[in-house]
Structure 1
Amino acid sequence: MGLGRLWYQLWHRPKARYAELKKHGGWSGYRALQAGQRHLAEAAAGLPARQDLSLGKQSVTLNVMTGARYWDQTSACLWTLAQHSQQHFRIRILDDGSLSAAHCAVLQRLSPELSIQSEAQARARVAEFLPAQRYPTLSGLWFRYKHIRKIIDAHLGRNDFNLVLDSDMLFFARPKALLDYLETPHGGIAMIDCAESYGYPRAELDRLCGGSVPTPVNVGVLGMPSGELDWDHIEYWAKALIAGFGPHYFLEQTLSAMLLAGMPHRFLPRDDYLVIAGANAQAEHTACLVHYVDASKRQYYDRNWQQVFRP
């Protein structure tokens, strides 16, 4: 074992493990979270097909990137959306390459208008529309940074409106503002984050995109007209940010905010479409949609999904 690997095993891995346990309230909190994960997977696996709803009036396709680690959250998110909207949606599942046939069978029950784009199909689209010779940064990121696929796989080579949903969200009431956008889309739409999370200097983002980057964008919900995305610009931005400041977990969210800066856009009302990050955050019950990030995952698994996800 090399020194680098030994250092990782003896220091970085235990340190990361301790931070993860602390975030979820120690061993007891972490065990409760794991139990909630198991119960959610069991509930999602027993989903019946929805035959009681009709397709809503929508001109936007919903996209969700998911895989073996997230399919149950995806199921809960989309099931609660349909339940509170009382309609089906046109849905494209973006497989991160880890979905099994059993996972796909469960997801297919969520809507008769649901399709699954395989990783192989997405890879072929990247080869066609983002050739490595012209787009070395984006094509390379597609393989090593899966978050970028929420932009690339949802919008690349398309000319209609597409909206991306994160899986770690639950709907608690009818999302009127979101449904209005799905029926009559114009420009972009996004959630407001609980804190700015870009990972790069604001001044540099404004300089690169030639305008003021909106803040704080959260990409739990992000809709855009796919045909208006300039892939040459996105390639340039990604290359410049990585060269100047290095890769960052929030690069996809940063690029999304930069794209919104170049088009008319709106934000979903913050109190109704809520992003929570703390383990003890309150008031989420007043929102129609809650996006659970960071330490709030314990809250999601401990009690919140059981309130609304009852197949």
Structure 2
Amino acid sequence: MSLGSLYLKFKQKYGHGLEVAHYRDRVRPKILQTPPITNTTDTTCEIHVLTSANDWLNLIWGLKSLYYYTGRNYALCIHGDTSLTEEQEAIFREHFPNARVIPRAEADEAMFEFLKPYPRCLEFRKNNHLSPKVFDFTAYLSSDRMFLFDSDILFFSEPKELLNRLENPNYEKNSVNADVGTAYTIDPEVVKEKMGFEVIPRFNSGLGVIHKTSMDLDWIEEFLSLPDIVGHFWRIEQTLYALCSSRFGVELLPSEYDVHLEEGINGSPSRHYVGAIRHQLYGEGIKQLVKQGFLKA
């Protein structure tokens, strides 16, 4: 191995400091020594999450911290991307024995048939890595309400307002965490001009409550006809969620759920460690959960 390769490997491992490396490489795997979460059969809502070979272990931390601090038994459906291995799927089934774990190949076969009446949707589902969040989540949803979840979220205390919006039968809007900024593939003014409704700013498709009826395939087929909407690879599924939610009815969760890039949990019940701050999930988030005795609970 060349000196350049060694330097790159060292930087990748320790680039965010020794503490981050310790919690990522030594402490993080200890979640696999904790007991399984059983009886996840409550269909008041159902958790849906898309995960990968890089993020699956973080997701176990996120889900177990959620179940621990909420005391809920929400139904769970885990969708794998093309990188998730059979071994990792088996580990999910071991730790969440009542969950449904959907392999990507199985989902592809089902969804390609399901979406045939919607040619734009089908094309998008075939060609975008994150498109299962838009189509598969609602197709496999066994509740009227989806608990939208990402692999990079940790919980530190009971998320009371989120639970209220998930469980209140009279709550009829979608509601998600606010992003750092507005990140869509289309200008909201274009949507207003062509579709006749305002698009909510700062919608982040990582955490929240989504009503099944809001993800209308006729709407999505219509939205995919907007000029240049299939743009930024990582933003298109978030854009479609924001459009469906804005037409359906939507509001943001309170500010304590906001995505932020600065360090600090600041007493919030949860934190969404998006890509730019993923290292903080280890050096801050997992560290805090260990401090709170989570691994020993």
Give the TM-score category using the shorter length: 0.7 to 0.9
State yes or no: 1:29 paired with 2:29. no
State yes or no: 1:195 paired with 2:181. yes
> Which residue number in structure 2 is paired with residue 291 of structure 1?
272
State yes or no: 1:152 paired with 2:135. yes
> How many residues in Structure 1 have an aligned counterpart in Structure 2?
281
Identify if the C-alpha distance between structure 1 residues 27 and 118 changes in structure 2 by more than 3 Å, giving closer, same or farther: closer
Identify if the C-alpha distance between structure 1 residues 266 and 40 changes in structure 2 by more than 3 Å, giving closer, same or farther: farther
Contact 1:33/1:301, CA 8 A, preserved across alignment? yes
Q: Which of 129, 132, 138 is 2:121 aligned to?
A: 138
CA distance in 2, matches of 1:56, 1:287: 27
Query: Structure 1, residues 187-234: CA drift from partner, whole Å, max 9, x if none?
Result: 312111121111421211323442011111111114322234321221
> Which residue number in structure 1 is paired with residue 80 of structure 2?
95
Identify if the C-alpha distance between structure 1 residues 177 and 113 changes in structure 2 by more than 3 Å, giving closer, same or farther: farther
Q: Which of 230, 235, 242 is 2:216 aligned to?
A: 230
1:235 Cα deviation from its structure 2 partner: 2.0
1:270 Cα deviation from its structure 2 partner: 1.3
Whichever residue aligns with residue 162 of structure 2, its letter is L
Identify if the C-alpha distance between structure 1 residues 208 and 291 changes in structure 2 by more than 3 Å, giving closer, same or farther: farther
Query: Structure 1, residues 104-153: CA drift from partner, whole Å, max 9, x if none?
Result: 2332344443111221332133223211xx43332222233222211111
Question: SS at 2:200's partner residue?
Answer: coil
TM-score (ref. length: structure 1) = 0.79
More deviation, 64-73/41-50? 41-50
Query: Structure 1, residues 142-190: CA drift from partner, whole Å, max 9, x if none?
Result: 2332222111110137572222201111101101112223323533121
Identify if the C-alpha distance between structure 1 residues 100 and 130 changes in structure 2 by more than 3 Å, giving closer, same or farther: same
Question: SS at 2:74's partner residue?
Answer: coil
> Which residue number in structure 2 is paired with residue 38 of structure 1?
25
CA distance in 1, matches of 2:275, 2:140: 33
1:259 Cα deviation from its structure 2 partner: 0.7
CA distance in 2, matches of 1:30, 1:239: 46
Contact 2:120/2:224, CA 8 A, preserved across alignment? yes
Contact 1:196/1:216, CA 8 A, preserved across alignment? yes
TM-score (ref. length: structure 2) = 0.82
CA distance in 1, matches of 2:258, 2:65: 16
1:247 Cα deviation from its structure 2 partner: 4.3
Q: Which of 54, 58, 68 is 1:69 aligned to?
A: 54
> Which residue number in structure 1 is paired with residue 4 of structure 2?
none
Identify if the C-alpha distance between structure 1 residues 249 and 89 changes in structure 2 by more than 3 Å, giving closer, same or farther: same
| Matching of residues 237-248 of structure 1 within 5 Å | 237-242=223-228, 246-248=231-233
Question: SS at 1:275's partner residue?
Answer: coil
> Which residue number in structure 1 is paired with residue 255 of structure 2?
270
1:31 Cα deviation from its structure 2 partner: 7.2
Contact 2:148/2:206, CA 8 A, preserved across alignment? yes
Identify if the C-alpha distance between structure 1 residues 245 and 98 changes in structure 2 by more than 3 Å, giving closer, same or farther: closer
Question: SS at 1:284's partner residue?
Answer: coil
Contact 1:125/1:156, CA 8 A, preserved across alignment? no
Over aligned residues, Cα RMSD in angstroms? 2.9
CA distance in 2, matches of 1:207, 1:57: 42
